Amino acid sequence: MESITQKVWRKLNGNRIEKPIGEALEDALILERELGNPIKVCIGTDSQVHGAETEFATVIVVLRQGRGGYMFIQNERSNRKMTLKERLLLEVHRSIDVAYKLCPLLDKYKTALEVHADINTDPRFNSNIALNEAMGYILSMGFTFKAKPDATAASCCANKVV
């Protein structure tokens, strides 16, 4: 039987986000709007296998056009054994799950959203095995799809915190 441990959302500095992630993101969107910063939100997930355990990191990246950004992070662990393709598609599923829950909020504030997949578009790389399915899944849910090398939320941000 699979065991999953889920941690709460946190900031990069390790501070826990004590309120629901939707409320924390709404506070950020309001603040950025008040500061006049045009923003975009990118969501991505990466994973690493450590022995019998797989750790996932999902990030919500708030990008300020020309002014950097910041992220909210959630880590989870699973002891379920998976193939590479299954793990990559589970990363995409975790990102879509978060994106879907945040859609009404992002629509309310007219904020652009991208879902990033840690999957390489170059067939010479192993992760390419899941490209078509991941792209179809993300696009069919109505989200903007980005893969490597343009999937910075997954391949850079989430990669640093997994």
pLDDT 10s digits, 47-65: 999 999 999 999 999 999 9
| pLDDT tens profile 66-95 | 899 999 999 999 999 999 999 999 999 999
How does residue 5 score in pLDDT terms, banded at 50, 70 and 90?
low
In tens, the pLDDT along 127-146 reads: 999 999 999 999 999 999 99
Query: For the chain, what's the residue count?
Result: 162
Query: How many angstroms separate the CA atoms of 35 and 99, rounded?
Result: 24
pLDDT band with cut points at 50, 70 and 90 for residue 122:
very high
Q: Averaged over 143-159, what is the pLDDT?
A: 95
- Prediction pTM value: 0.93
Residue 153: pLDDT band by 50, 70, 90 thresholds? very high
Number of domains in the chain: 1
* Boundaries of domain holding 49: 4-161
One-letter amino acid at 32 equals E
Query: What pLDDT does 1 receive?
Result: 41
CA distance 143 to 160: 24
Q: What tokens were used for 88?
A: 């990559």
Using CB atoms within 10 A of its CB, is residue 72 exposed (0-12), middle (13-18) or buried (19+)?
buried
The set of residues, in sequence order, having a beta carbon less than 8 Å from that of 61 and lying 6+ positions away, is: 41, 42, 43, 44, 69, 70, 71, 152, 153, 157
